[in-house]
Structure 1
Amino acid sequence: MTAQKYANAAEAIGDKIRLVPDFPEPGVLFEDLTPVLADAEAFATVVSSLSQACRDLGADLIGGLDARGFLLGSAVAFDMGLGILAIRKQGKLPPPVITEEYSLEYGTAALEIPAGQTDLQGKRVVLVDDVLATGGTLLAATKLLESCGAEVSGYVVVLEVPGLGGREKLRDGSLVVINESDA
């Protein structure tokens, strides 16, 4: 094995991220992680940082949020020798499902998991996603898992969009943003 190209996730992200101005609307700077995920060394560095944060939060199970959270969460779960729970957008799973609705600035949405397929009682779940924005999706996933008896022990994301209030919706001390935690 060769020497690692990146010292930490922040360096890998800074080197590979694609910044797209005025997407999805004028005035927004979209941070595209696709080039980070496509580069083997950058991806490995990011997954390693995500995994360490999940270990520190005491994960028994990783919850990956639809859809980029599936990519990241699956790699983390594999790296840690844990299972992955795919938390899907409404209508993507066959019944029976457990659903949690939440509000968006333009309406409502819902997340689902299969009903009765995974024993979540007492499991410490760390939720993994790519970006924290308003926090609505992570909060809905928390309510969904807690309604099934799980304990959400933390949240691990790659990036945070500042100024949207997402951090304030989550429990103090339970959020790790790897782009800033290991810089």
Structure 2
Amino acid sequence: MDVLAVPADRPKGWYLSLMAPNTKGPAFAWLDPSRLYCNPQALADCVKDLLGPFHGEPIDLVAGIDAMGFILGSSVATSLGKGFLAVRKAGHLCVATQSQNYTDYSGREKTMEVRTDVLKPGVRVLIVDQWIETGGTMKAAIQLLEKLGATVVGVAAVAIENTEGGKWIKEKYKFSHCIPEELQSQIDRKYLDSFKNFK
């Protein structure tokens, strides 16, 4: 699909076919969701779909996970008229921080951190990331925010794969993602039928 083409009806997830398949080999993620952000209508509809389950939910702050969660998270925060909190990879914040160790989707041990002067007990936070594969990164972000007393209202991502970690998130927290039920099996097997027509 042309990155600028917009269908007339725009059903939920119409923009998923804009995502690009991996052309660089196994060291990289299996697809690039960020291509859909290049289409302004796709980005707007993605944010709308992510916020659907949270209408009427009191949200004080949106947190986005380094780095691709910054794009969607700040878009969600702007749409809600709320502030945005960056959950960073360790070593980038020059203020007092709280940290959390985790294992990412590639199996690497990492640390994330967040500033300590924003989150107070009772602050209601929606956490946004681009993609949830094993769930390790999102689980660490949840633990980090809750350690500082925040209430995690829910979790939002373009996709949540049905891995052990993905299922844990879906069972424990309110969640949203952009995947229609009929596409979930394609997401879980890491191949979209739309890749056949990718140009």
Same fold (TM over 0.5): yes
CA contact (8 A) 2:119 2:145 kept: no
Is the CA contact (8 Å cut-off) linking 1:57 and 1:154 kept in structure 2?
A: no
Counterpart amino acid of 1:7?
R
Q: % of aligned pairs identical? A: 27
**SS of residue paired to 2:30:** strand
The residue type equivalent to 1:18 in the other structure is A
Q: Is the 8 A contact 1:4 1:41 kept in 2?
A: no
TM-score where L is the length of structure 1? 0.83
Deviations along 1:111-155, whole A, 9 cap, x unmatched? 111122x14320111111110111111111111111111011211
The 5-angstrom pairing of residues 139-154 of structure 1 reads 139-154=139-154
Q: Which residue of 1 aligns with 2:77?
A: 77
Q: Which runs of 5 or more residues in structure 2 are unaligned?
A: 1-5, 184-199
Which structure dedicates a bigger proportion of its chain to strand? 1
Partner of 1:135: 135
Show the counterpart of 2:116: 115
Contact 2:116 2:148 in 1 (8 A): no
1:95 and 1:128, CA in 2 relative to 1: closer, same or farther beyond 3 A? same
Counterpart CA distance in 2 for 1:146 and 1:112 is 13
Alignment of 1:43-54 (within 5 A): 43-54=43-54
Cα deviation digits, residues 44-80 of structure 1 (max 9, x gap): 1112212333436542211111111110010111011
In 1, Cα distance between equivalents of 2:99 and 2:135 = 18
**Where do 1:93-108 residues align within 5 Å?**
93-104=93-104, 106-108=107-109
Following superposition, the deviation at residue 20 of structure 1 comes to 2.0
RMSD of aligned C-alpha atoms?
2.6
Q: Give the structure 1 partner of residue 21 of structure 2.
A: 19
Q: Evaluate the alpha carbon distance shift between residue 51 and residue 4 of structure 1 in structure 2; reply closer, same or farther with a 3 A threshold.
A: farther
Question: Contact 2:135 / 2:166 at 8 angstroms: preserved in 1?
Answer: yes
CA gap 1:29/1:138 in 2 versus in 1, 3 angstroms:
closer
- Aligned with 1:10 (options 10, 13, 20): 13
- The CA deviation at 1:88 is 0.5
Structure 2 Cα separation of the partners of residues 64 and 29 of structure 1: 19
How far apart, in 1, do the equivalents of 2:8 and 2:116 lie?
A: 43
